[in-house]
Amino acid sequence: MASNPTAVLVVALGLAGPDGRWLLQQRPPGKHHAGLWEFPGGKVESAENQRLALCREVAEELAITLDPAALSPAWVADDWPQGNIVLILYTATRWQGEIVGLEGQQWGWFTLGEMAALPLAPMDRSFAARLAQ
Ligand SMILES: Nc1nc2c([nH]c(=O)n2[C@H]2C[C@H](O)[C@@H](COP(=O)(O)OP(=O)(O)OP(=O)(O)O)O2)c(=O)[nH]1
């Protein structure tokens, strides 16, 4: 791992609902970290812009449309010492469309207190702490 400097860039969405809750989804069976809760998102593809990648992932996973210009970079985390993932959290407060779990995943709106009690994907504890600020 230490001899491979190539980062895997992952983007995730902190979508703020109108009542101070945040949208989380559960990673579906068959995926790495299946069953853990996460902010929607995924890997940026080769030569893809990271904001557009997040818009694509969220459309694929939840059927909603985001405005890439209305995303705010909020936090970054990595998975040291396990690997070479760099995860950027963007926040947004608006979206278009009705949320549907297109991959059969569970999703819901959670307060930061409720989030603290969930089994979260590895890098998401630091995101939750950032959203609390
Ligand atoms: N999407 C997402 N991934 C997270 C979060 N927290 C966290 O540790 N991860 C990790 C889990 C995975 O190792 C990696 C993201 O990979 P992914 O499996 O979601 O990416 P992807 O949708 O493009 O999936 P795939 O095509 O590779 O199956 O980042 C999070 O909040 N959202």
Is residue 130, in this structure, part of any structural domain at all? no
d(CA 40, ligand 1 centre) in Å = 8
Residue-wise pLDDT tens digits, 2-36: 556 689 999 999 999 989 999 999 998 888 899 99
Q: What is the distance between the alpha carbons of residues 85 and 72, in angstroms, rounded to a whole number? A: 20
Confirm if 58 and 39 have CB atoms less than 8 A apart. Answer: no
Is residue 131, in this structure, part of any structural domain at all? no
The domain spanning residue 111 has which CATH number?
Answer: 3.90.79.10
Is residue 65, in this structure, part of any structural domain at all? yes
User: HSE of 90 in the Cβ direction (CA atoms, 13 Å)?
Assistant: 25
Residue-wise pLDDT tens digits, 45-69: 999 999 999 999 999 999 999 999 9
Is residue 95, in this structure, part of any structural domain at all? yes
Domain count, the chain: 1
Is residue 34, in this structure, part of any structural domain at all? yes
Closest residue (by CA) to atom 3 of ligand 1?
42
Is residue 33, in this structure, part of any structural domain at all? yes
| Full residue range of the structural domain in which residue 68 is found | 8-125
**One-letter amino acid identity for 131?**
L
Residues with CB under 6 A from ligand 1: 10, 12, 31-33, 38-39, 41-43, 85, 87, 121-124
The ipTM is 0.91
Is residue 132, in this structure, part of any structural domain at all? no
Is residue 119, in this structure, part of any structural domain at all? yes
Confirm if 62 and 99 have CB atoms less than 8 A apart. Answer: yes
Confirm if 68 and 114 have CB atoms less than 8 A apart. Answer: no
Query: What 8-state DSSP symbol labels residue 118?
Result: S
